[in-house]
Amino acid sequence: MSTDQNGTDAQEDTHINVADGIDHQVAMVMDLNKCIGCQTCTIACKTLWTEDGGSEYMYWNNVETKPGEGYPRGWEESGGGWQSEEHKERKTGEIPDQEDYGRAWEFNHSEIMYEGSDEPLRPRDGAEWGPNWDEDRGAGEYPNSYYFYLPRICNHCTHPSCVEACPRSALYKREEDGIVLVDQDRCRGYRYCVEGCPYKKVYYNTVSKKSEKCIFCYPRLEGEGPDGETYAPACAEECPPQLRLVGFADDEEGPIYKLIEEYEVALPLHPEFHTQPNVYYIPPYAPPQHTDDGETVDVDRIPRDYLRKLFGDRVDEALDTIERERQIVRQGGESELMEILQDKNPADQYRLEVFEDG
């Protein structure tokens, strides 16, 4: 698929656009209506990739509660990305403090396990912030409070500002699938990439003094397991409600292409950062508000303004499309969109071998 640079701002940030020189682009779609905030994905990623010295604080995959400040704290206001869709001028960004990520806490394990204390298990002093510190807090007033979970990985952007920010060209986009990687031999730990990524999805390892980030589990995609089989990234495979579809954005027969391009219900997070993410989200919908007496009123529980802030103006149309298709099914009709969103066949959820011979 060729690069179309002529679209409007919204089109450029929402529609499939494979970067110059990249054969195909891997992508993920996450249905936020299914996320239960269990953090299985976070732990699957953590145990596979970031258990070594210096990476204790890193969560390449994290799940945060929205509304909330997220991980690292305040990342949405930390700058980075591009000034405009032309991708000529980057925006200034900040490097988060260790406190904004949250320091690893010490727990009273030894007192409980070896000294017979009957205290509850809890962190010692210093637990002031951490990943998903905002858990389940949300916003709004009873009986109309609301929150939802937002799982985040590196978006393997089509126009990655982290790549552009590195003066050593240590970050690069793989030609065969658009995965964004850090060449550990070239990296000198300048941290321009940390500053440049508006999603704060590059991390600095203080022990190795190099940057690290989500690698989209590329060895699993390449079949480097014991049996030479191809597997989807661990965050997707391990997710209990199976809310992640993995494949190629430019695979026109696949569900990802249909959700992004045909039904336009899968949207990038913060399109105004102009990096053009390749992780897309089905926006959350919630029951309408209630009065104190429990009567239903026709007011959105999750304010649309808030969703527009996260997913851009196209969120209205996306939610309307989903509601329309749900209605069709409720009335006994058929909906391809609803079938895609409920499909539990791994061959459809993970279409990773379609371009292998191409």
Peptide bond into 303 cis (omega under 30): no
Residue 79 sits in the site that holds ligand SF4 (CB under 6 A): no
Name which of residues 149 to 178 contact ligand SF4 (CB under 6 A).
Answer: 149, 151, 154-157, 160-162
Nearer to ligand SF4, 153 or 302 (CB): 153
Among the residue ranges 34-42, 218-226, 330-338, 342-350, the one whose residues contact ligand SF4 (CB under 6 A): 34-42
What does the alpha-carbon distance between residue 300 and residue 289 come to, in Å, rounded to a whole number? Answer: 6
Q: Which residues of 260-283 are buried (b: 16+ CB within 10 A; e: fewer)?
A: beebebbbbbbbebbbbbbbbbbb
Residue 40 sits in the site that holds ligand SF4 (CB under 6 A): yes
Candidate list 18, 29, 41, 310; residue touching ligand SF4; CB under 6 A: 41
Give me 99's structure tokens. Answer: 């406190």
Selection from 336, 308, 324, 319 nearest residue 285 by Cα: 319
Residue 96 sits in the site that holds ligand SF4 (CB under 6 A): no
Under a CB-based contact definition with an 8 Å cutoff, are residues 197 and 93 in contact?
A: yes
φ, ψ dihedrals at 29, nearest 5°: -120, 130
Residue 210's CB is within 10 A of a number of other CB atoms, namely 20
What does the alpha-carbon distance between residue 164 and residue 276 come to, in Å, rounded to a whole number? Answer: 14
The HSE-up count of residue 160 (CA atoms within 13 Å, CB side) is 31
What does the alpha-carbon distance between residue 279 and residue 269 come to, in Å, rounded to a whole number? Answer: 8
- Provide the mask over 285-324, with x wherever binding to ligand SF4 is found by CB under 6 A and - wherever it is not: ----------------------------------------
Name which of residues 260 to 279 contact ligand SF4 (CB under 6 A).
Answer: 275
Candidate list 199, 203, 216, 281; residue touching ligand SF4; CB under 6 A: 199
Residue 67 sits in the site that holds ligand SF4 (CB under 6 A): no
Among the residue ranges 52-60, 115-123, 128-136, 234-242, the one whose residues contact ligand SF4 (CB under 6 A): 234-242
3-state SS assignment for residue 56: coil
Residue 282 sits in the site that holds ligand SF4 (CB under 6 A): no
Size of the site for ligand SF4 (CB under 6 A): 28
Name the CA radius of gyration of the chain, rounded: 21
Shortest distance, position 87 Cβ to ligand SF4, whole Å: 11
Residue 243 sits in the site that holds ligand SF4 (CB under 6 A): yes
Q: Note the residues at the interface with ligand SF4 (CB under 6 A).
A: 35-41, 63, 149, 151, 154-157, 160-162, 180, 197, 199, 201-202, 213, 239-241, 243, 275
